[in-house]
Structure 1
Amino acid sequence: MPRSRIEGKAWISHEIPRLRPATVLDVGAGMGTYSNLLRALTPGASWSCVEIFEPYVERFALHAKYDVIHRADIRDFAWPMAYDVVILGDVLEHLTLDDARGVWATARAHARFVALSIPIVEYPQGPENGNVHEAHLQEWSHDMVLSELDGVWRWQVNPKIGAYLARGVR
């Protein structure tokens, strides 16, 4: 679904402004939740997004929420620059484990910090609203996040959603 559970949002909304980002990339923007929550808390920051599903751009008025919109699959994204913060908000569960690892490594290579929000319990979901990319392909747990995704240094675990911060390698 183009929106996500509220769990973890308060923690991420507290942590990202503390990083003082000048540039933010929101991967899988959906309805623009992270821009809605954080744009006012990151004054002067340039906000970009990657959205795979073209109809969401107009349906959720993403042009009003982001300075730059990239219509792309993050697995094939041609990163135009490095970012201070890359947000992977409810993205990795929509990928196979191998693809998720690759996206994670690439995001870390192009960021000072990566923020992740992900279901950490069984959370089945199929295609929705004509969007096949909404299907969950990989189940995650907190332990799996820590063992599979390098660089994680802070987190908050909620009943269904884990929120994580990782250091990038740029």
Structure 2
Amino acid sequence: MQCHTRLKRELKSLSESPPPNVSCWLNEDSLNTLTAKIIGPPSTPYEKGVFTLHIAIPDRYPFEPPRIRFTTPIYHPNIDDAGRICLDLLKMPPNGAWKPAVNIAGLLSSIFLLMSDPNPDDGLMFDIARQYKTDKGAFTRKAREWTQRHAMKETSDDEPQSKCPRLD
């Protein structure tokens, strides 16, 4: 019950003042599943791409972090082929930095920042991390190509486009 109360409050806040370049909404079929979209950060190979993320909220939220993964393919050293994200905020201590005070908006903002500034020293995709460190031009070209191929598709009319719906 605490999970749903907190989630309603967070979604209301997201609808009223979402982080820049982020939208998020509750899936109709489940109270524990959200969908988010992040617009690729400017001046990066992801610029103008629209990336979809799946967010699964555990029953113990906020005492456990949500499971977030990209459903849009992305060429990034910290995101694997299954869309899993290597980010300390998504892991429980002692190996991670999750705290109950962190919210969905903060996580999505952190993912946006990770897209802007990859961490190749903690890469999930070894080959991409190595390329990022040794041949940034080749990395940028490939990441831009993936963005154009996978993240610049037309969106369907039945998909929410801007802000989270209100849960009054």
Could you say which structure has the larger radius of gyration?
2
User: Which has a greater percent of strand?
Assistant: 1
Higher relative CO (Cα under 8 Å, sequence separation at least 6) belongs to 2
**TM-score (normalizing by structure 2):** 0.26
**TM-score (normalizing by structure 1):** 0.26
